[in-house]
Amino acid sequence: MIDFNTVTEFSHTYCIAICAFLVPANLLTTLQTAILTGLNRPRMQVWASVVVASLWATAMIFHVFTWFAIGVVMPPTYILLVMAITCLAINIWAVGHPASMMQLIGVAVSAFRGGFTKKKDLAI
C-alpha cells in the first residue's frame, strides 16, 4: 500500500524536478495528440498519445493537490492546475469528438496560412 505521507514528502522534496519534467511532458504530448488528430491519423495512434498525455496531466494534478493539502495557495499552484486540467480536457476532446477538433485545427491552419500570404503580397 502507498503511504500518503511518503508520496507527499517526495512531491515536496523534488517539486522543481517534478515540474521541470511534467510541464514540458504535458504540453508536448498534448500537442502531439492535437497534431495526430489534425492529421487524421489512425485512432489507435491518437489513443496511445492520449493515454500518455493524460498520465502526465493526472500526475501534475496529484502533485498540485499535495501542495493544496498542506495549505500552499500561490499563483504557481493554480497555474499548474489550470494547465494540467486544460491538457486533460484537450485529450478527452480528441478522443470524445475528434471531428470537431479536426475542424477547428483546419480553420486555424487556414487562418495561419492566409496571414502569411497577405504579408507576402504586401511586400511585393
- Residue-wise pLDDT for 12-24, tens only, equals 999 999 999 999 9
Instruction: For residues 105 and 99, give the distance between their C-alpha atoms in angstroms, rounded to a whole number.
Output: 10
> Is 94 in contact with 34 (CB distance < 8 Å)?
yes
The residue behind cell 511534467 is 22
Statement: residue 117 has pLDDT above 90 = no
pTM: 0.85
C-alpha cell at 26: 504535458
| Residue 116: pLDDT band with limits 50, 70, 90 | confident
